[in-house]
Structure 1
Amino acid sequence: MSELASGSSAPMTAVLHVDGLDVGTADLRLVSDVSFTIAAGERVGLIGESGSGKSLTALAMMGLLPDGVHAGGSVRLAGVGHDLVGAPEPRMAAVRGAAMTMVFQEPMSALNPSMRVGDQVAEVMLLHGTQRDRSNARAAVVKLLDSVHLPEPERLARAYPHQLSGGQRQRVMIAIALANGPSVLLADEPTTALDVTVQAQVLDLILTGVAERGAALLFITHDLAVVATVCERVMVMYGGRIVESGPVEEVFTNPRHPYTQGLLAASDMTGTDGRLRTIPGSVPAAGRFPDGCVFRNRCPNAADDCAVLPPWTEQDGGGYACHHPVGSPESAGEALVQERHVPVLQVQERGVPELPAPEPLIQVRDLRRTYHRPRTSLRHAAPPVQALRGVSFDIAEGQRFGLVGESGSGKSTLIRLLAGLDSPTSGTITFDGRDVGGQPERRLRFLRDQLQVVFQDPMGSLDPRMRVRDIVAEPLAGRAVDATARVRELLEAVGLPPDAGDRYPHQFSGGQRQRISIARALAPRPSVLVADEPVSALDVSVRAQILNLLADLVERFRLTLVFVSHDLSVVRHVCDTIAVLHRGELVELGPSAQVADAPEHPYTRRLVAAVPTIRGALAGRTASDLARGTPEESK
């Protein structure tokens, strides 16, 4: 592939050359003919849905592919005298952590839980000879932890990973990655699980770290707004191939491939007629993409010759486009909209005469919950943690109530109390006039029938040993209902095929597993559905599908929705009311548009200012602006 096709802006100073990279097993081709270059100091984004091959590309470059998966092609790194593809492990071990490093999505999986944080940072420097002895390494560790803005670095160096917050653990990973002054940093979804304010700080740290060292950055994510904020150039990946590449502003304002156009349409949270735009269908299983254009089975403009033509055509000025372009981004967005409602759903007619407001379905009054941490000394009492501090609000029947706040704000504690899974220290919770707080389980059967929860990670809440039909039917045990018919109705309602009931959770994608979780929650016909971060880990296109699905189901079954998230833009789209929690206190409550567009409390304003947007990034809003909480309007 030519330098033009790679989209390289500075081939003479390129520090990383990837040429014809293939990744696969004996039977499947997972990544095909990926070629690009990255210059020293350049910041490049790699975007695409789960299953597109982004992480496999990075793992192949690092020599970290799992057993049975092999790589072909070439990966060359400036200053390294051998090809990284096929290099023996001793040679790759000398490269990893020194010339090329990686920040992973989940730091708890990458950090050793049995080693102190400082020892793990020091180990990287000692292994590669950056520090000669442990005494010097310890001093360097404290300085490095301070550079990533960890408070009390000397104390935190002696802590274990589980004693740190998610954001602090990710800062440790950044410190490890930057410890030896790498020439290339790979960041694989490093902020996906973080709150928006912590995400902004981590993005700023990554950019500062690579800028100070003149390192190249390959930033892998499915969040287009983050790429627009962080990167100068972007590559779009689908089906194990790069289908479009070029400068961020060019690709995001004038996309030439229908897949890119679909991603941009799905990222627009303003929606059309209250609904989000989505890409039809779903990503095929890894290695099972069609011949010819890998996107043709989902493309609204596919033609017969797409099955035999090459996957793309090279365009003047770099980047790729399909053989049958959809047209303008606006028309592409409209063409890629799925049916407005999933099958069998009927939207309730509006225009019902106004009636006097009934009593709230859920009433929370002066709710407090105090926990006690484990004792650290026999001389001192266990320190208290005030998770909730006098929270009060009402939720009316049929309301869409959004709960927003960072980790540690008290959201999860509040949800547990509403669901009767914990008891308040003081205050009251009533559901339809009946007391919930502090009641024994035998008196909460009415609540178990009427309130169901959909959790963030469906794989953590679905039994991997049970078939889907049994998972959905489980809440119906002991009830006089036709479970088979109910399961069939629910699978259809959430947009899953009838044969889905015969399969196991691991045979579905993340979005499909979330649909299974929703079906199970609806099985006992609840009146309240609590959705706890249900889309935070999903791709933008899948997120749009799930949010549209929730809106349809709330309408069809006349549900009251409690939607929990740290993403204010998502809550604004889904809910009619937003409550903002901060350090256990309810700091703002009001109509969604008012809270999101004209927030009154400084904390809410900071949350709004920390959300990255494509429009703001293209207008010059930086990661530093997000971290400082600079409003988008000021840019």
Structure 2
Amino acid sequence: MKAVLEVDGLDVGTADLRLVSDVSFTIGAGERVGLIGESGSGKSLTALAMLGLLPEGVHARGSVRLAGVGHDLVGAPEQRMAAVRGAAMTMVFQEPMSALNPTMRVGDQVAEVMLLHGTQADRRAARAAAVELLDSVHLPDPERLAHAYPHQLSGGQRQRVMIAIALANGPSVLLADEPTTALDVTVQAQVLDLILSGVAQRDAALLFITHDLAVVATVCERVMVMYGGRIVESGPVKEVFAQPRHPYTHGLLAASDLTDLDGDGRLRTIPGSVPAAGRFPDGCVFRTRCPNAADDCTVLPAWTESDGGGYACHHPVATPEKPPSLQQSHFRATPLQEGGFAASSRPALIEVRDLQRVHRRPRTSLRQPPPTVQALRGVSFDIAEGQRFGLVGESGSGKSTLIRLLAGLDSPTAGTISFDGRDVGGQPERRLGFLRERLQVVFQDPMGSLDPRMRVRDIVAEPLAGRREPDVRGRVAELLTAVGLPADAGDRYPHQFSGGQRQRISIARALASRPSVLVADEPVSALDVSVRAQILNLLAELVERFRLTLVFVSHDLSVVRQACDTIAVLHHGELVELGPSAQVADAPGHPYTRRLVAAVPTIRGALAGRTAADLARGAPEEL
């Protein structure tokens, strides 16, 4: 296979810190390679260095050669790099709303990249080609959407626009940096299929960066595992994932498997957290978290070309014949009770009956009534005290509307909500004090829900303001310890913590008022697999310790199955399935639930031959 991209001895760092060290690899034409590792491992920095897009003060050394480009990309002047970016090598970013220009129509943005690189003769031809590209990524009514602005599209549609831009000039290398992290599983499957079909048509090389091992197993032929700015293991996906040699790879595989539990019934995790950028230890960069660490690990392991290359571990793991990630689910389906609904012997703490919510959009015409959107359509269910209740559905299914109603942050159009026998729906704020004390919410994005100007101790103590708490400082210290944060965490600000640590702060704040119900809204959707396992374990421990009722909201059915004992599936505002977690996840009765299950990528399914196209069309895992 002819090499299209050659990276040799790539170092990235500042004057004081080394962030990426001695990274070397090649990718051939049409080859699909995954780059995996936790946040802070150096994955995105490696890609940005290849494109010459490093932040100010961060510099690269080494060599990056691209077929058809007569100069080294490292150290090349901006004028030369501008000719390469968007033409020979392009990138699909994680957050399309940040990458797209909010003031330009999407069709003009697709046309712009072709005009800049001269692949279309004039603006008219570029606009026509842009519509064709939007059609090729399966956007509905591409001529109409070409005139839309980014904010008028859904997240999946915006990512399709980004793919169209990236493929517009027929690149030889496509870099995809976490392109599906924030998408629903069904939309993710469609986007993955589009990326693969796009690179296949152009025989382009693909470097796919992600922390989701199941996605890499589905998309890529070869994988590189990065930690501490170094590649610690690489090779064919089927070999690395079936027989991992490095303890870090083994830990990632164990943490990604939501059906593999330890003796205490908890998910397996990698101890500790990723050190701050550039603060990795000398010698083996993983030794401070490695269960096999010994004295000789203070010496940097030698680079080995075997199995694809990497810094070989001094103490490689003895891999079992069949890793947990390749085994069948540990869960067993249990039959639903009569009527298809899971009843509980415990009394209901929350009762929802015939709940409806209609949103009115801004008026578009003086002669017509304002358009309406029915977010919820007659939803009914009970949540018992101590129950772990999961809400599953895609974006737009009504999940967020429902939890706002449960939390008394919105009023229903029709129907009732009662909390411990007291009416919640439509009550003025002055009458909801009982609910504010007993029900708290943990939001998806802790960086957006935590005040960046407040110290952590003040953030956690804020819900206690005006309450009779004899020892606020002691209560804050108790909560920070309960969520596994260090003793000095209270003196720091949110930006000084990792994403997983910020989510722990959010949980501590939610527990400050001693609630009986904890609502977790997508709390792990943007986290690494190891941090995800830690947060799920933490929630399970806190639910047991404080005897909480948990309402867990997610678009990922596999996560909800692990966290909850009951699952409710929402689709277009209707409750289409409700039952025990194992039953709903392993033997779904509704076609929509079956589609959600079929769209979830798994390592076991991928290694058995399940492709992104299979996920996109909802093919079952057992092909």
TM-score range, shorter chain: over 0.9
Query: For structure 2, which runs of at least 5 residues remain unmatched after alignment?
Result: 326-343
| 1:463-491 CA-partner distances (Å, limit 9, x unpaired) | 11111110000000011111111101111
Structure 2 CA distance, aligned partners of 1:302 and 1:464?
A: 37
1:599 corresponds in structure 2 to 588
Moved runs in structure 1, 4+ residues, more than 3 A?
329-334
Please tell me whether residue 471 in structure 1 is matched to residue 459 in structure 2. yes
Q: How far apart are the structure 1 equivalents of 2:366 and 2:105?
A: 24
User: In the alignment, does 2:58 pair up with 1:58?
Assistant: no
**Residue-by-residue CA offset, 1:26-66 (whole Å, 9 max, x unaligned):** 10000000000000000000000000000000000011101
What is the DSSP-based 3-state SS (H/G/I as helix, E as strand, rest coil) of the residue aligned with 1:242?
A: strand
The structural deviation recorded for 1:330 is 7.8
In structure 1, the residue matched to 2:499 is 510
Partner residue, 1:432: 420
- The offset of 1:315, in angstroms, is 5.4
Q: Does 1:243 align with 2:228?
A: no
Choose the corresponding residue for 1:307, options 298, 301, 306.
298
Q: Distance in 1 between matches of 2:212 and 2:307?
A: 25
CA distance in 2 between counterparts of 1:380 and 1:45 reads 52
The structural deviation recorded for 1:331 is 11
Instruction: Determine whether 1:121 maps to 2:110.
Output: yes
* Alignment gaps of 5+ in structure 1: 1-9, 335-355
Residue by residue over 1:133-169, the C-alpha shift from the partner in whole angstroms, topping out at 9 and shown as x without a partner, is 1111111111110000000000000000000000000
Q: Is the 8 A contact 1:261 1:329 kept in 2?
A: no
Aligned residue in 2 for 1:319? 309
1:577 to 566, 570, 576: 566
- Describe the SS at the equivalent of 1:361: strand
Matches within 5 A, 1:493-572: 493-572=482-561
Q: Which amino acid aligns with 1:410?
A: G
Shift of 1:520: 0.3
1:547 Cα deviation after fit:
0.3
Deviations 1:105-160 (A, max 9, x none): 00000000000010100000111111111111111111110000000000000000
Q: What is the SS of the residue equivalent to 2:308?
A: coil
1:379 positional shift: 2.6
- For residues 473 and 600 of structure 2, the distance between their equivalents in structure 1, rounded to whole angstroms, comes to 44
Task: Read off the aligned partner of 2:317 and give its amino acid letter.
Answer: V
1:378 matches 2:369: no
SS at match of 2:367: coil
Tell me which amino acid in the other structure corresponds to 1:544: A
Contact 2:357 2:375 in 1 (8 A): yes
- Distance (Å, rounded) in 2 between the aligned partners of 1:38 and 1:271: 34
Could you say which residue in structure 2 is the equivalent of 1:413?
401
**Aligned equivalent of 2:334:** none
CA contact 2:242–2:322 (8 Å) conserved in 1 = no
Give yes or no for contact 1:23–1:69 (8 Å, CA) kept in 2.
yes
Amino acid corresponding to residue 420 of structure 2 in structure 1: D
Give the CA deviation at 1:366: 0.5
Pairwise CA distance, 1:375? 1.9
Report the Cα distance in structure 2 between the residues aligned to 1:567 and 1:446, rounded to whole angstroms: 31
Which of residues 268, 271, 286 in structure 2 aligns to 1:277? Answer: 268
1:122-161 to structure 2, matched below 5 A, reads 122-161=111-150
| Whole-Å separation in 2 of the counterparts to 1:505 and 1:329 | 40
Alpha-carbon distance, 1:329 to partner = 4.7
Q: What is the aligned-residue identity percentage?
A: 87
Q: Which amino acid aligns with 1:250?
A: E
**Counterpart in 2 of 1:480?**
468
Q: Choose which of 553, 578, 589 in structure 1 pairs with 2:578.
A: 589
Q: Is the 8 A contact 1:452 1:528 kept in 2?
A: yes
Q: Quote how far apart the aligned CAs of 1:313 are.
A: 4.4
Distance 2:159 2:365 in 1: 29
Say which SS state the counterpart of residue 581 (structure 1) adopts: strand
Distance 2:613 2:237 in 1: 18
CA displacement, residues 262-295 of structure 1 (integer Å, 9 cap, x when unaligned): 0001011113243100001111100000101000
Whole-angstrom distance in 1 between the partners of 2:491 and 2:474: 14
C-alpha RMSD of the superposition: 1.3
Does residue 1:360 correspond to 2:360, yes or no? no
Q: Distance in 2 between matches of 1:497 and 1:225?
A: 32
**1:297 aligned partner:** 288
The one-letter code of the counterpart of 1:428 is T
Answer yes or no: is the 8 Å Cα contact 1:313–1:322 preserved in 2. no
Look up the equivalent residue of 1:393 and give its one-letter code: F
In 1: Cα distance, 2:247 partner to 2:116 partner:
47
CA 1:480–1:304: 2 relative to 1, 3 Å: same
Is residue 224 of structure 1 aligned with residue 213 of structure 2?
yes
Partners of 1:159 and 1:516 in 2: CA distance: 39
3-state SS of paired residue (1:192): coil
Match of 2:20 among 12, 24, 31: 31
Q: Distance in 1 between matches of 2:128 and 2:305?
A: 52
- Separation of aligned partners in 2, 1:625 and 1:219: 19
Q: Does 1:444 align with 2:432?
A: yes
1:477/1:331 Cα in 2 relative to 1: closer, same or farther (>3 Å)? farther
Q: What residue in structure 2 maps to residue 353 of structure 1?
A: none
Residue 296 of structure 2 contacts residue 314 of structure 2 at CA under 8 Å; is this kept in 1?
A: no
Deviation at 1:333, TM superposition (A): 8.2
Per-residue CA deviation, residues 224-266 of structure 1 (Å, 9 max, x unaligned), is: 0000000000000000000000000000001110000000010
* Shift in Å, 1:498: 1.0
Residue 341 of structure 1 is matched in structure 2 by none
Give the corresponding residue for 1:85: 74
Which stretch of the first structure deviates more once superposed, 374-383 or 39-48? 374-383
Distance 1:317 1:418, change over 3 A: closer
Equivalent-residue separation in structure 2 for 1:66 and 1:463 (angstroms): 26
Residue 323 to residue 331, structure 1, CA distance change in 2 (3 Å): farther
Write the letter of the residue equivalent to 1:380: Q
- Whether the aligned pair in 1 keeps the contact of 2:257 and 2:324 (CA below 8 Å) is no
Q: Counterpart amino acid of 1:296? A: R
Residue 346 of structure 1: aligned partner? none
TM-score where L is the length of structure 1: 0.93
TM-score, normalization by structure 2: 0.95
SS in structure 2 opposite 1:260? helix
CA offset at residue 332 of structure 1?
9.5
SS of the counterpart of 1:227?
Answer: helix
Deviation at 1:358, TM superposition (A): 4.3
Distance 1:173 1:167, change over 3 A: same
Task: Give the structure 1 partner of residue 89 of structure 2.
Answer: 100
TM-aligned CA deviation for residue 378 of structure 1: 2.4
Find the aligned partners of 2:514 and 2:386 in 1 and give their Cα distance. Answer: 14
Distance 1:49 1:573 in 2: 21
User: Contact 1:588/1:604 (CA < 8 Å) preserved in 2?
Assistant: yes
Which deviates the most, 550-559 or 321-330?
Answer: 321-330
Aligned length: 601
Q: 1:491 aligns with which of 480, 487, 491?
A: 480
Structure 2 CA distance, aligned partners of 1:145 and 1:332? 41
Partner of 1:265: 254
Mark the CA change 1:423 to 1:328 in structure 2 (over 3 Å): closer, same or farther: same
CA distance in 1, matches of 2:163, 2:32: 16
